[in-house]
Amino acid sequence: MSYATLALARENAVAILTFNRPEKLNAINRQVLVELHQALDALAADAGVRAIILTGAGEKAFVAGADIAEFTALTPVAAVQFGGDLGSAAEKIARMPKAVLAAVNGFCLGGGCELAMGCDFIYAAENARFGQPEINLGIIPGSGGTQRLPRFVGKARAKELIFTGDMIDAQEALRIGLVNRVLPLPELLPAAKATAAKMAAKSGVVLGLAKAAIEEGTATDLASGLALEAKAFGLTFSTEDKREGVAAFLEKRKAVFQHR
């Protein structure tokens, strides 16, 4: 499928989904949202894709936020719908049983930051800038920012960023735990591809169980999370990939997983 606002490429089992409105700093409008949901659904259903990279076209932005020009006509009801659709895209990323890595190349603000936080982890270029600047427009984050950001950086730091609307650079984002790695811009996508390829070589079904255990477990109390983990651990013993992984270890060879 082709898209007007996104670009989709494939390198073996790794898909690279690029926000492709560089003239608008890849800002999110209604068309982007519709196509993003379509692309995420297609990638989730594609058994040949086992890891996904989200990035932005050009060198200035991952996603600079929502396309503010569209906000002038939004009623309160339409605003709830827009925020919900963007938030559900982030949640779709978080719940997808595949590894999803954000490669942030430039501005990652507002809805862009909310989408990046839905990914399993974030690699950032040295020129990356993060923030939830909605308060500068007289609004608040509406697609997960007030909920995901405190879970990444702690409640007090999240309040500071949301209440001031300030941006932080990549090194500060690394220091407070929002991103995993900071790289020179030319090295960003190659590093993301290398990590995604490494994850894609693991058992897809087992990685999906690990992701679900983390996502669901960290949303509940420790005892419930441990119970979820125990069940997921048990389920791995029903897979062909568990048998292959154990056999490969005992035979001192590299495992060849079939993702089932």
pLDDT per residue over 89-112, tens digit each?
A: 999 999 999 999 999 999 999 999
* Full-model pTM: 0.92
Domain match, 194 and 212 both = no
Q: pLDDT (tens digit, 9 = 90+) per residue, 18-35?
A: 999 999 999 999 999 999
Domain match, 216 and 106 both = no
Rounded Cα–Cα distance for residues 137 and 132 (Å): 11
Domain match, 11 and 97 both = yes
Catalytic residue among 11, 59, 126, 134: 134
Let me know if residue 258 belongs to a domain. Answer: no
Domain match, 96 and 119 both = yes
Q: Among this protein's residues, is 134 annotated catalytic? A: yes
Q: How confident is the model at residue 136 (pLDDT cuts 50, 70, 90)?
A: very high
Rounded Cα–Cα distance for residues 84 and 78 (Å): 10
Domain match, 155 and 35 both = yes
DSSP-derived 3-state class of residue 49: coil
SS (H, E, C) 193-242: HHHHHHHHCCCHHHHHHHHHHHHHHCCCCHHHHHHHHHHHHHHHCCCHHH
Domain match, 95 and 193 both = yes
Domain count, the chain: 2
CB-based burial of residue 184 (10 Å sphere; 0-12 exposed, 13-18 middle, 19+ buried)? exposed
Domain match, 88 and 114 both = yes
What is the pLDDT at residue 69?
85
Let me know if residue 257 belongs to a domain. Answer: no
Catalytic residue among 23, 59, 114, 187: 114
Given a cut of 90, is residue 2 above it in pLDDT?
A: no
What is the pLDDT at residue 183?
98
Let me know if residue 219 belongs to a domain. Answer: yes
Q: How confident is the model at residue 72 (pLDDT cuts 50, 70, 90)?
A: confident
Which structural domain, as residue segments, surrounds residue 239?
A: 204-250
Token representation of residue 60: 């200035």
Rg (CA), the chain: 19
* 58: CATH: 3.90.226.10
* 242: CATH: 1.10.12.10
Rounded Cα–Cα distance for residues 115 and 145 (Å): 9
Domain match, 10 and 130 both = yes
Q: Among this protein's residues, is 114 annotated catalytic? A: yes
CA atoms 56, 61, 62, 65: torsion sign = negative
Domain match, 21 and 147 both = yes
